[in-house]
Amino acid sequence: MERQSRSEVVFKVFAVGLVVIFSLMAFYPVFYSFSASISGKAAYETGQVILLPKDVTFQVYKLIYQDKGLWISFVNTLFYTLFGTAWSMFVSVTGAYALSRQRLLFRRQLNFLVVFTMWFSAGMVPLYLNYINMGVANRWGIIVAFGVQAFNIILLRSFFQAIPKEIEEAALIDGANEFQLLTDIYIPMSKAALATVTLFYATTRWNGYFWARILLTNPMELPLQVYMRILIENYQKMFDDMPINLPYAEDSYIFAVLVCSIIPVLIIYPYIQRHFARGVNLGGVKG
């Protein structure tokens, strides 16, 4: 076993320590939100809750369970995430595969148009007017209109181009068509990149706020992030008719909603993250 120099040991200790510090900084707000959501009113308002909860009570989660609007928005977000991610992946995979084909007519021009959208935008007001005129201000409009990100298409295109051409040529000799090449060759060999892009799309859909807040007017179609923002703006009114001697602080309700909103991401992410770095790195082998 090769002996490491002192400088290499120092660097690795420093790097690991830095990663641990940043990890704790990223994890602390999540843990604090959970601690604040289950802490008693007096302990929270007097600043006793720093890391661990004080005077534990789960009454606020019972209040969340009774909030029908929250559950409706939660289901809406699941709907937008599942169907939106599926639509985005369908468009991105088929588009990236087409752009990776050397035999595609006007391939260079089409690639340029895709990359061009990453550099320039028409602006917020023209985009808003365009979305309104196209009838995007509804549930399915949000899914279809925001289905593609140019960066993800470029990422998948680069990954497809990195697959050895000999495999494709062998499949063509055996009589495979374009659909079979995509489904039997490229997709099975691109699981890491597909998992990465799926995570990108799913996270974007789950955290979608801005355009949903502007375009959606039906309260029954609002996603969780928009509903949470409305709660933060109006939650004081919700507590006006409640008893003064509540066992939890008013802010605990908001913290509890935040915790509930990130639970699905925390559950799903560990199953996908092992493909994350590999997918990004391999996707950048070729431009």
Is 244 domain-assigned?
Answer: yes
Residue 88: predicted pLDDT: 95
In the predicted model, is pLDDT for residue 162 greater than 60?
yes
Residue 20: predicted pLDDT: 94
Is 151 domain-assigned?
Answer: yes
Cα 285 from Cα 165, distance rounded (Å): 15
Six-digit token pair at 179? Answer: 């659909």
Residue 275: predicted pLDDT: 61
Where is pLDDT greater, at 41 or 274? 41
Domain of 258? 61-283
Whole-model pTM: value is 0.81
* Cα–Cα distances in angstroms (integers) from residue 191 to residues 81, 132, 176, 183, in the given order: 20, 37, 21, 12
What is the CATH classification number for the domain harbouring 269?
1.10.3720.10
What is the dihedral sign for C-alpha 121, 203, 70, 252? negative
Eight-state DSSP code of residue 138: S
Is 195 domain-assigned?
Answer: yes
Cα 194 from Cα 25, distance rounded (Å): 29
Residue 287: predicted pLDDT: 41
Eight-state DSSP code of residue 2: P
Is 40 domain-assigned?
Answer: no
Looking at the structure of the chain, the number of domains it has is 1
Per-residue burial over 60-86, b if 16 or more Cβ lie within 10 Å, else e, is bbebbeebeebebbbebbebbbebbbe
The mean pLDDT value for 60-89 works out to 91
Cα 1 from Cα 63, distance rounded (Å): 59
Is 29 domain-assigned?
Answer: no
Six-digit token pair at 72? Answer: 């409706």
For 164-175, write each residue's pLDDT tens digit: 888 888 888 888
Q: Confidence class of residue 51 from pLDDT cuts 50, 70 and 90?
A: confident
Nearest C-alpha neighbor of 63 from the set 231, 221, 226 = 231
Angle at CA 112, nearest 5°, toward 107 and 116? 155
Is 218 domain-assigned?
Answer: yes
Is 27 domain-assigned?
Answer: no
List Cβ neighbours of 207 (8 Å cut-off, separation of 6 or more).
225
What is the dihedral sign for C-alpha 139, 140, 146, 147? positive
Is 272 domain-assigned?
Answer: yes
